[in-house]
Amino acid sequence: MQKRTINITYFYAFFLVFIAPLSVPLAIWTWYQGWVTSADITLAIIMYCLSGLGITLGYHRLLTHRAFQCKRWFKQFLLVCATFAMQGSPASWASLHIQHHRFSDKEGDPHTPRFKGFWYAHMGWIFRDHKPNFRRYGKWLLKDKDVKHISKNYLLYSILGLAIPFAIGGWIGLLWGGFLRMFLCIQMTWCINSVCHLWGLRPYKVSDTSTNNPLVALFTFGEGWHNN
């Protein structure tokens, strides 16, 4: 079972780092060919907003920090939208992020740039088999029926994030609203781990290296205000 988990981890990391970026030149090529319509771009923007808001409101604010409460249907909606970003299941994402906050920029932080630099914090860390420690960081997550269900069926929900743009816009919709959108969304999330711990404003002197980066904040629905 452990070997299988590691294999899946490496496959996932390889896909995100080496396959997903191919969507950028492909998208540029389809644009150059005149195959992309305003509807395709609108679809990509909508899917980006859904997956990005799912991450910041659902995974981060609702699950990790428990910063607000909402109706059950809205919680389910946010968590499903977050799976479209293909950044991990609700339970694993939140527990790893709780661990990050517990050891921010110290030993035990899964993606700090302090020890291994920018590229490790940005994407290199996903090649490590970081198994979420639910007993220490978010034992309550697996007691939540919605979190447990969506986490168990995470792969199916994340594929839905590709099936929807394909059903609406065909192959161009899949490319722009699916793969390109997913690539851009995950890159911006990774920028919070790397860029926002290296470059930006520090109005508050805290123990970690978090900064406020307006450019990252613009594309992450405010998450780039990382020092606030």
pLDDT (tens digit, 9 = 90+) per residue, 192-210? Answer: 999 999 999 999 988 889 9
Who's near 221: CB < 8 A, 6+ residues apart? 52, 53, 56, 57
Domain range annotation of the chain = 2-196
pLDDT of residue 152: 94
Residue 11 clears pLDDT 80, i.e. is over it: no
**Mean pLDDT, to the nearest integer, of 24-33?**
97
- Residue 178 burial (CB < 10 Å; 0-12/13-18/19+)? buried
Question: In three state form, how does the secondary structure of the chain look?
Answer: CHHHHHHHHHHHHHHHHHHHHHHHHHHHHHHHCCCCCHHHHHHHHHHHHHHHHHHHHHHHHHHHCCCCCCCHHHHHHHHHHHHCCCCCCHHHHHHHHHHHHHCCCCCCCCCCHHHHHHHHHHCHHHHCCCCCCCCCCCHHHHHCHHHHHHHHCHHHHHHHHHHHHHHHHHHHHHHHHHHHHHHHHHHHHHHHHCHHHCCCECCCCCCCCCCECHHHHHHCCCCCECCC
pTM, to two decimals: 0.91
pLDDT (tens digit, 9 = 90+) per residue, 124-173? Answer: 888 876 666 767 788 889 899 999 999 999 999 999 999 999 999 999 99
